[in-house]
Every structure is written in C-alpha cells, then in structure tokens.
A and B are shown apart, each in its own frame.
Chain A
Amino acid sequence: MSATIHRDRLMDDISDVPVLAVNNLAVSYRNGNDVQRVVYDVSLRVKPGEVVAIVGESGSGKTTTAQAIIGLLAENGKLDAGVIRLNGTDIAAWSQRQLDTVRGCKISLIPQDPTGSLNPVKTIGEQVAEILQIHRYGSREAIDTRVIELLTRVGLSQPELRASQYPHELSGGMRQRVLIAIAVALRPALIIADEPTSALDVTVQRRILDLIDELRNEYGTAVLLVTHDLGVASDRANHVVVMKAGRIQEQGPTQQILTSPKSEYTRQLLADAPSLRKAKYHSRSRSRPEVDGDDVIVVDNLLQDFPLGGRRRESFRAVDGISFRVRRGSTHAIVGESGSGKTTTARSIVGFQKPTAGRILVDGTDITTLRGETLRQFRRRIQLVYQNPFGSLDPLQTVFHIIEEPLLNFDPLPREERARRVQHILDRVGLPQAVLTRKPHALSGGQRQRVAIARALILNPQVLVLDEAVSALDVTVQAQILGLLDELQRALGLTYLFISHDLAVVRQISDTVSVLHNGRQVDGGTVEEVFSRPVSSYTRELIDAIPGQLSPVHV
C-alpha cells in the first residue's frame, strides 16, 4: 500500500524534463554474416523520480533495449539508429570511454542474477568501494566510511562483517541488497533495474522491491524497470511500456494500460498474468461435481533425511512430518519457497527416493514398500512432468521416439498400435503431427512442455505430478499450458499434484493446497480456506507478497 501512496505524491513533483529520452532506437545482433534486428523503433521517456516499466516476454527485446541505453550491448550488438538522451545529452554515439564517465554516477544498473553479478574472489566491501574509486569519490577513509553507510542503508545487518565477507557467504537476497547499494552509491539520476527480483523467492522479492522504492523516494532517482511480470510492473511503475518481438505494442500511464489496454497483445498479457487474474479455472473446477471420498494420494507423516556427509554422520531433515490427502480428479498444490521441501516431497511420491519414515499410498498401494520390478510396474500409474522442458527431453531423440518410449517399457504392442497411440496423444496435447520427426532443439519451450506432458500421459496414468511445470515458461505460454492441463483433467479424470512457488498460479488452478516452510506443513486445506483465512503468519506473508495487488485493478 505504501508504494501506491508514494506514487501518488510523486506524481505531483515530477518535472517535465526527462532524465532519459529514447527516440526511434534500433538494435541488431550480428552473427558471422547474419544480421538480425531485435529492437525496432523504440521510443520512451523517463521523468525524474519516475518508475517506467518495460514489460515483455522472452525475445521481446526488453533487456536489449536496457543494455543499449547503458551502452553495454554484447560484443556483436550494434546500435543501428536512434537517439538516447540522458539529461538532454545524446549519448547514443558516445565511445565506451565517454560512457565510462556517466556509467555508475549518472546512470547505474541493478542486474538480474545476484549470484553471478558479484565477483567471487573479491570481498563485498571491495566491490562496493570500487564504484567510488572509479569515480574518485575521495580518500580511502572516506570511501570505507561510505561503504559501511551504504551497506547499512540497504538493510544489511553487521555491515562491517558483510564488507569483509565474500559473495558466496551471503544469501541471494543479501547479495541483491549489495548490488542495490552499488547502484545507488553515487545517487545516479537513473537506475536500470533488469529483472531485479526474478531469481529471488517471492517474499524476498517483495522486500527488495520495497527497498528500491524507498531509495528512489529518498534520492529522487528515476528507475527503468525491466520485467516479465505485469504484476510487478503494475505495483511499482508510473508508466508501462509493453514490448513484443522487438517493438513497443503500447505505452502509457500504468492505470490506463491496466484498465483500458488498446493493443490486443496487452489484453492477452493481462488476461494471462496469473497475478492479475482471480481464479479463472478455479471457479470452473469447483463447479465440477464433487467426487465422493476416494483419495488417490494419501501422504501420512512423511519424513525425509539426507546425510550431510560430515564427521558425525549428521543429516539434514528436508521434509518433516507432512500429511495430506488428494481426491481423485482434483488438483492438490504443494506451495513453498526454495528449500521448503516441496520438490523432495514430490520425488518421494513418484518413488524416486525412499522416505526415512512415513507412509505414501498411491491408489491404495503403499509405494514405500515397493522395489525393483513392482516399483517399475507401479510407475505406469503416476508420472512426473519436470520444470525445465529443455533438460527433460533427450536431445538426440525425435519427438516420436520420446513419446513412444514409455510404451516400449511395458507390454509389447505392435508398431502400428504404438504409432496410433502416439498420434492420438499428440492431438490431445495440441501439437501438429509435423513435430513428430523433429528433435527437441527445434521446438519452442511451450511445445517441449507439451511433448513432456504427452510422454507422461501415454501410459494412461491416474496421477500427474507437475514439478514447477509452468514456471520456466512465458506468461502467455504458461496460460496455454494451464488451459491444456485443465482440459486434460476434465477429459481424462486425472489427478494433479502441482508443485509450485507461484501462489498466483496455485490459486488459479488448485482445489486444495499444502503450504510448506522449512520442511514443515504450515497450512493446508481448500484453496479458498487457505487464501482467505490462512492459519500461519508465513502463509499470510506469502499471499501478501504476490505481486499485482497494489495495482489499480484491485484497488
């Protein structure tokens, strides 16, 4: 809520001279003799103290635009045309040497990946001090004092200790705070924040975005926020620029974009963004006739320890006493942040690891007792779909062989019958027959995930475990896959166990949910109960952290 208030107050202060004015920017990449244009005719302006968000899916050219503005295109990138005015001066034609004088002090960067963005062999203090040294901030002592000041300001505890530590000793959120300290060190007029929170857990994401907002208000810095998440943009930006395939689809004040979008693509983005949409499928799935008390999955007091390999045979408890039941034909979600034990739980249920203690019944069979051939036979009934559709398909196999393979593992079928089933399932997941002869690298991310679903479905399983199965996909593709899953569930009576960190998606598609935190179940029940009356404060925090709630659509 605080961000909304700030934004309104700031609206009045904003003067009309833009910090950044980009006109007709065009960028292309050169690969050998191939020249490929990736940004066409982009114009935008950022006024002092304002937040402008560039929103787009992968390949939209949003990051390239940001890199071009700060003069850090990849070696093969070329600015073909356009004017980039920073405080009125055109820097588009500047040499790298000239740009070095404004980078860091007039315009700075908050990068995407907090892990790789700090030099692993230098201390935090050295890396914050570096920007001050480059721009000759002052004496050694002055710099050291300022470093501690900055680390304190971005909310790091024990700043002196942090300054002497190396990046690997800090958590992801702490590293992102360090990078923010670097970006604001010289109070630049403009900060380019390139997906600053995409690699972070949702609760951390919220705190980091709040920090950026706070510092922006304090220093009067403008922010160009590059993001794939329309929810984040709607919460934080005054002005939104929507990009697709290198072109601006539309731009305007956030409120206007959200409430009366002009372009077809923006409307689609708005419709597909899970955070901005309340339970599209949910209402439908709830209207489905209640199936009577038949539980397909029963998890009872599941415990999972992993040996740490230390001297005293210490072990780490990844899952600590989790219990839940899933009704046939329904969708149960397991939600949690990284390290919550959600993936471990899923892997125990599909039989990839033996639980330390507890019982898992799948369709009446206790799978913790299965081994060898009986476990192999059991696998027909429950299948797993992975998060990363690039890694879960064998790069050397054709789509036909990938989908056909499970059939070869069980009762032998004649060749024609196998081909018929593969074609049938391919239709089901909405892929054209033409892809059968292709290999995974020739498919898009969404198509690959459809292939993975087809492979999982060809054995007619009763349960599908979806491990972050839509997390790696763009929102529009994500919406398509979620739609497909919903359709398949109703047509085939499938039961889904949906593992996700994304509460917005979970709210959309699940019937029941378990919330995990540090290996324990902190909340559970129907989606409606958990989302409206959470028992634990952690769940409350998770729900509040879903981006898109500060936006005028909901206000």
Chain B
Amino acid sequence: MAIEVRDVNKSFGATPVLRDVSIDVAAGSLTALLGPSGGGKSTLLRVIAGLEQPDTGTVLISGVDATRLAPQRRNVGFVFQHYAAFKHLTVFRNVAFGLEIRKRPKAEIRKRVMELLELVHLEKLADRYPSQLSGGQRQRMALARALAVEPQVLLLDEPFGALDAQVRKELRTWLRRLHDEVHVTTVFVTHDQEEAIEVADEIVVLAGGEVVQTGTPGEVYDNPANPFVMRFLGPVTEIGGNLVRPHDIEISQDPVEGGSPAVVSRVVRLGFEVRVEVEIGGHEAWVQVTRDQADRLGIGPGDTVHVRPVPGARSLALAV
C-alpha cells in the first residue's frame, strides 16, 4: 500500500470534520476522494500531506509512519485548487523550486525541468510568469512542479475546480493519460461524480466526515451502499418506493407485467437524450429515453403509459 490511513479523527474547534476515517491506496493507483462539500475530503488530503495534523489516528506513506512528520519530509506532491503558483518566479523556476531546495546540480535541474515542461506541454512558456498564463496552463505548471521532486504520492485538491467546463474536461482526460505514463500513486479530491468516474481506478465516497463506500467506479455506480451514494453518483428517480436510475426504466403504451400506470406530464428533448416526466399515483418521476425510443412511442403530455424497471436494473429500496 502506498498510503494507509488508520482511524483518523479531526475536529476544527467543536466541529468534527473526519470521524474514524480509514482508507488504503494501492501503489500506482489513481484514487478519487468523492463527496459533497464539507464532507471532509480536502481535510483528509491535507492530513495525508501533513498540512493538517489529525487529532487521533495514523498515516502511513510507503509503510513508514508519517503521522508526525512535517510536510517537507513526506515527499508528497501537492496540487492546490487555486494553483498556488509562485508569482515572483518564472514557470521554469516554479518547476525547479523543489530541485533547487534539494541542491541538485544546475545541469540536472535544467534537464529535468525541461523534460517535465514537455510532459505538460509548457516547454515554450518556460520564461513566462504565472500571471501571463491561463488557468489551465497554471495548473499544468503546478502539476509539473509537484512531479519534479519525484514524490512517492501525488495529491490533488480539486485540481480542476477553478477552471471552466471546457478546460476541465480536457485536463481530466489529460490527467488520466499522464497517470498512465508516469504511474505515480495519485489521490485527487473532487465533488464532481462524472470526473471521479471518468478518471479514477478507485473511488472513496466521503460524506459527513465518514467513508461511506469504497470501490471501483463500476462497483460504486452499480452497487451503491445506500440511497445517498446512489443519488450522489448519478441521476435517480423513484418508482414504487425504489430508487432507480432513469435510464433503467422502460416505457410502454400497453400494460406490462410489473408495470405501473403513469401519466406523462412533460417531454423534454435535450439533444440525443429525452426526459419524459411522469406522474405515478401522485408521485413525480422521470424516465430517460433516447430520441429514437421517444419517436417510436410518440407520446405527449396527458397520455397514459406503463413504466417498470428494466429486467436486471439495480434499484435500492427506500426505507419509508
């Protein structure tokens, strides 16, 4: 295990932020800490980096107890949401910082920094200052800076949170590719379930300061531990007291076995996807169908249809 967190508790004043948190991060993996804001995920990341001290519990990095170790002795790379670029230094000097602190020979620093800048596609901007870069470029620089010291683990705190949607998507794909190239054990914090599912090998869902579920993106999406995780990981709707994914529901005009009658209240066309909003016995629900299916059904507001979960659909019973 690259990182082992055991029974960590942390409070800010009287507010508990982490409660008995234990996680394992396998060497070479790309793990997402996913959860709503205030769930404790950033605090957990900062505890691993040594930027926060846990009240109780231990943190092991590569098998060594690092709980009381200062951040500068942990050999972790940390990337901040707002880049934390050294404003008075050029891109080159930013990336070289950790190597200069380690007093590496000039030639070696130059070679390593230029390699890293090529890796993050900033080799042409080496002499610029951070204020002359875009948000995405600054974050790539921050990543190169963290990688320069060859950290045992790379920690990213909402790395794409401050970027606009387009750049965020690009960097997401790029991070996944970079990880496949560099193979450094990586943990990143996000509140965006799509980001976690797309990028991570392993997802740790944190809410209310506790680990709610751990698993691969597929496991967490398909077998959510509770209604909270199911809701957080993707769209859900409620049919007959069960939580179901809206794409796991079929609509037919004729009565079907196990189906319930429903009245269509609205049909919303969102490009390829069509949302059919229905009312089942006073409850509102919605069904996600493709445009072709919607055209074939030819339904409109006021029509009566029959809906049921598709055979084999994952659903969670809601405790009433």
Partners in one complex: no
